[in-house]
Chain A
Amino acid sequence: MNSKTLTRADLSEAVFREVGLSRTESADLVESVLENIASHLVAGETVKLSSFGSFSVRQKGGRIGRNPKTGEEVPISPRRVLTFRPSHVLKDNVNKALSGNGQDTAATPE
């Protein structure tokens, strides 16, 4: 499996091809899309993109962690974390393409 890594440049290129805006404007729009999503998340809002997935922010409480190397206890302060839940469409597409199943991955209570 030779896997590639896509970046902003590839997304801008796709917008450029698909919509026919200039390369600069395509790049600016990719940036605005990401920035729009990011700022809503920072404001504590959930962002739902149908057939793709949803991003939400969760508040985690503080706890005592441990340095796995030294065994030393370190406090972990309360923080906010971002979670992404892929939609069923995305999960199915990825799984069908890569594992050859995905249709009947039952037992995913919704």
Chain B
Amino acid sequence: MIKSELVARLAEANPHLYQRDVERIVNTIFDEIAGALARGDRVELRGFGAFSVKERPARMGRNPRTGEPVEVDAKHVPFFKCGKELRERLNTSEPVTADAGFSGNVPGAAD
């Protein structure tokens, strides 16, 4: 699913809203999360997950083509940790994997 499909679904479920308002709502939510991360803040959404920023120290890397060592600057990277409830939901339903033929059992799938 891509953003426009998400917007379309929400618009369908909320017929009293204009599609462009739904689009603004979706953009506002993700801009707010992105803005928080850019300030170094965390965003915690119970049941869904938490967004935070991790600091990666500077290190010596290597150009994989030439083998030449290169300095890699310290950096800050956005990070997401799946929430408990969503993690449990992912593992209680039948996995709908792209590769057909998968029939392994998933913990908790039995009921």
Contact = CB atoms under 8 A, between A and B. Distances in A.
B6 A44 contact: no
Given A44-B97, A53-B78, A81 B90 contact: yes
B24 A18 contact: yes
Contacts, number: 186
Nearest to B87: A82
Given A11-B33, A97-B40, A102-B75, 15 more contacts: A5-B41, A6-B44, A10-B36, A10-B43, A11-B29, A11-B45, A21-B25, A30-B29, A33-B25, A42-B89, A45-B1, A80-B91, A82-B82, A82-B90, A94-B76
Contacts of A51: 30
Given A19-B25, A41-B90, A49 B106 contact: no
A78 B104 contact: yes
Contacts of A96: 38
29 contacts: A4-B42, A5-B44, A10-B43, A11-B43, A14-B29, A18-B28, A26-B25, A32-B10, A34-B47, A37-B6, A38-B89, A42-B86, A45-B96, A48-B1, A49-B3, A49-B30, A52-B30, A78-B106, A80-B90, A82-B49, A82-B80, A82-B90, A84-B78, A90-B37, A91-B78, A93-B34, A94-B37, A99-B73, A102-B75
Contact of A59 (B14, B38, B45, B97): B97
A3 interface: yes
Contact of A93 (B3, B38, B74, B75): B38
B31 to A, nearest CB: 8
Given A18-B28, A29-B25, A53-B78, A6 B41 contact: yes
B45 A81 contact: no
